[in-house]
Amino acid sequence: MLKEKMLLLKRLHIVSDIILTIFAYFMADILAFFLVHGNLPTFYQITISTQNLLVIAGIWGFLILNQNSPYAYRTKGYRDMMKPVALLVLKGISGFLIWIFATKSTLPGRLFIFLFLAIDLTLLFALRIAVVNFLHIIRARGKNCQQIIVVGEGVIAKKIIDDIRDNPKWGIRIMGILDVEDYDQLWRYRDIPQIGRLEDLADIVQCNQVDYVVFAANRKYIDKLQDAVSLCEKMGVKACVLTDFFNTKFAGMEMSEFLFRPAIVYSTVKEDQSSNFVKAAFDRAGAFITLALAAPILGVISLLVKLTSNGPVFFSQERCGLNGRRFRLFKFRTMVENAEELKEKLKEKNEMDGPVFKISNDPRITRIGKFLRKTSLDELPQLFNIVRGDMSFVGPRPPLPDEVRHYDRWQRRKLSVKPGLTCLWQVGKRNGTTFEEWMKLDLEYIDNWSLWMDTKILLRTIPTVINGTGK
pLDDT reported for residue 469:
59
State the pLDDT at residue 3.
Answer: 44
Give pLDDT tens digits for 366-391: 888 888 888 888 899 999 999 998 99
What is the pLDDT, as a whole number, of residue 419?
A: 93
Which has more confidence, 298 or 467? 298
pLDDT, position 283: 92
pLDDT at 258 over 70: no
- CB under 8 Å to 35, separation ≥6 — which residues? 111
Do residues 174 and 208 make contact, with C-beta atoms less than 8 angstroms apart?
no
This model's pTM is above 0.85: no
Domains of the chain (ranges, CATH numbers): 2-140 (no CATH), 146-245 (3.40.50.720), 273-466 (no CATH)
pLDDT over threshold 50, residue 166: yes
pLDDT over 60 at 69, yes or no: no
pLDDT at 217: 78
Instruction: Give 80-110 pLDDT, tens digit per residue.
Output: 777 788 888 888 888 888 888 887 777 677 8
Q: How far is CA 104 from the centre of its chain?
A: 35
Judged on CB neighbours under 10 Å (0-12, 13-18, 19+), 246 is exposed
CB proximity list for 49: less than 8 A, separation 6 or greater:
105, 106
Determine the pLDDT at residue 302: 92
CA distances from 339 to 47, 298, 317, 333, 363 (A): 71, 23, 12, 10, 9
pLDDT of residue 4: 43
Burial 53-83 (b: 16+ CB within 10 A, else e): eebbeebbbebbeeeeebbebeeeeeeebee
Lowest mean pLDDT among 85-89, 269-273, 311-315, 402-406: 269-273
Task: Work out the pLDDT band at 392, boundaries 50, 70, 90.
Answer: very high
Question: What's the mean pLDDT in 105-117?
Answer: 81
pLDDT of amino acid 249 = 67
pLDDT, position 183: 64
Tell me what the mean pLDDT of segment 128-152 comes to.
Answer: 78
Would you tell me how many other CB atoms lie within 10 Å of the CB of residue 178? 25
Local structure of 34: helix, strand or coil: helix
Judge whether residue 203 has pLDDT over 50.
yes
- Contact 356/336 with Cβ under 8 angstroms? no
pLDDT at 394 over 50: yes
Helix (H) or strand (E) holding 239: strand 238-241
User: What residues contact 381, with CB distance under 8 A and at least 6 apart?
Assistant: 298, 314, 330, 331, 332
Q: Is the pLDDT assigned to residue 164 strictly greater than 70?
A: yes
- What is the model's pLDDT at position 96? 86
Q: Following DSSP, what letter does each residue of 291-332 receive, concatenated?
A: HHHTHHHHHHHHHHHHHHSSS-SEEEEEEE-GGG-EEEEEEE
Which has more confidence, 250 or 285?
A: 285
Least confident of 16-20, 238-242, 392-396: 238-242
pLDDT above 50: residue 273: yes
Segment 334-357 shows an average pLDDT of 73
The confidence score (pLDDT) of residue 1 equals 36
Highest mean pLDDT among 246-260, 265-279, 441-455: 441-455
Closest-CA residue to 152 (of 213, 230, 211, 232): 213
Comparing 6-10, 12-16, 93-97, 313-317, which segment has the lowest mean pLDDT? 6-10
CB-neighbour burial class of residue 216 (10 A; exposed 0-12, middle 13-18, buried 19+): buried
- Cα angle 231, 236, 237 (rounded to 5 degrees) comes to 80
| pLDDT for residue 2 | 40
Mean pLDDT of the chain: 80
Q: Confidence band (pLDDT; 50, 70, 90) for 353?
A: low
Least confident of 5-9, 148-152, 227-231: 5-9
Distance between CA atoms of residues 73 and 169, nearest Å? 10
* Per-residue model confidence as pLDDT tens digits over 402-438: 888 888 888 888 888 899 998 888 777 555 678 888 8
CA-to-CA distance for 89 and 256, rounded, in angstroms? 26
- Look at 26-30, 138-142, 338-342 and tell me which has the smallest mean pLDDT: 138-142
Least confident of 48-57, 302-311, 315-324: 48-57
Model pLDDT, residue 354:
67
Top pLDDT among 162 and 468 is at 162
Determine the pLDDT at residue 119. Answer: 92
Contact 259, 268 (CB under 8 A): no
142 CB-contact burial (10 Å; exposed 0-12 / middle 13-18 / buried 19+): exposed
pLDDT at 7 over 70: no
